[in-house]
Structure 1
Amino acid sequence: MKISELILPPLIGGFIGWLTNYLAILMLFRPYRPLKIGFLTFQGVIPKRHWEIAKALGELVEEQLLSQRELIELLTSEENKQLFAEKILLAVKEKLSTLFPVLPEYLRQIVIRTLLNYFKNELPSVVNKIILSLETDLQNKVKIGKIVEEKVLQFDLKTLEKILTSLMKTELSYIEVFGGVIGFIIGIIQVMLNIFLK
Structure 2
Amino acid sequence: MQWSSFFSVNVQSLPEMVDDFAEHWWIYSTMPLIAALIGYGTKIVAIKMMFRPHKFIGFGAFGWQGIVPKRAPEMVEVLCSTLTGRLISAQEIIDRVDGAELAALIERPLRIEVARIIKGVAADYQPAAWNLLPAPARDLVVEQAQRAALDAVVALTESLTDHIDEVFDLQTMVTREFLSDPDTLEKMFLEVGRREFAFIRRSGLVFGFAIGLVQVMVWLIFRSPVMMPLFGLFTGWFTDWAALRLIFNPKEPKKYLGVIKWHGLFLKNRIPVSQEYAVLIASRVLTADRLVRGLFNGPHQRELVGLVATVVEDAVRTELGDLDRFVATQVNELQILGDLGFGKLGIGKLLGAAARPVSAPLRAITGVGLDAMQIAPMSHAAATELVEALPKLLDGPAEEYLDRALGIRELMVEKMVAMTPEEFEGVLRPAFQADERTLILVGAVLGFLVGDLQVVVMENLVH
TM-score bucket of the superposed structures, by smaller chain: 0.5 to 0.7
Letter in 2 for 1:20: T
Q: Contact 1:27/1:45 (CA < 8 Å) preserved in 2?
A: yes
The aligned counterpart of 2:47 is: 25
The aligned counterpart of 1:193 is: 218
**Greater displacement, 188-197 / 9-18:** 188-197
Shift of 1:154: 1.9
Q: Contact 2:69/2:182 (CA < 8 Å) preserved in 1?
A: no
The aligned counterpart of 2:169 is: 143
Q: Check 1:45–1:74 CA distance in 2 against 1; reply closer, same or farther (3 A cut).
A: same
TM-score when scaled to structure 2? 0.31
The aligned counterpart of 1:184 is: 209
The aligned counterpart of 1:155 is: 181
Matches within 5 A, 1:77-88: 80=98, 83=101
Name the larger-Rg structure: 2
The aligned counterpart of 2:321 is: none
Aligned Cα RMSD in Å? 3.7
Letter in 2 for 1:3: W
The aligned counterpart of 2:79 is: 57
Distance 2:86 2:30 in 1: 52
Check if 1:67 corresponds to 2:89: yes
Per-residue CA deviations over 1:99-149 (Å, capped at 9, x if unaligned) read: xxxxxxxxxxxxxxxxxxxx8xx99x8576333443477344321111111
Distance 2:39 2:59 in 1: 25
Shift of 1:21: 1.1
Letter in 2 for 1:69: Q
Distance 1:37 1:177 in 2: 34
Per-residue CA deviations over 1:150-172 (Å, capped at 9, x if unaligned) read: 11112243x64355324433332
Distance 2:153 2:40 in 1: 63
The aligned counterpart of 2:266 is: none
Q: Which runs of 4+ in 1 moved over 6 A?
A: 85-88
Q: Check 1:37–1:74 CA distance in 2 against 1; reply closer, same or farther (3 A cut).
A: same
Describe the SS at the equivalent of 1:13. helix
Q: Check 1:37–1:14 CA distance in 2 against 1; reply closer, same or farther (3 A cut).
A: farther
Letter in 1 for 2:172: K
Ranges in structure 2 where 5+ consecutive residues have no aligned partner: 1-20, 113-146, 224-463
Per-residue CA deviations over 1:46-69 (Å, capped at 9, x if unaligned) read: 101112223233322322222233
Describe the SS at the equivalent of 1:32. coil
Describe the SS at the equivalent of 2:54. coil
The aligned counterpart of 2:318 is: none
How many corresponding residue pairs? 168
Distance 1:85 1:183 in 2: 63
Structure number with the bigger relative contact order (C-alpha 8 A, sep ≥ 6) is 1
The aligned counterpart of 1:35 is: 57
Q: For 2:34, which of 12, 33, 40 is the aligned residue? A: 12
Per-residue CA deviations over 1:2-50 (Å, capped at 9, x if unaligned) read: 2123212112211111111111111110111112256323111110111
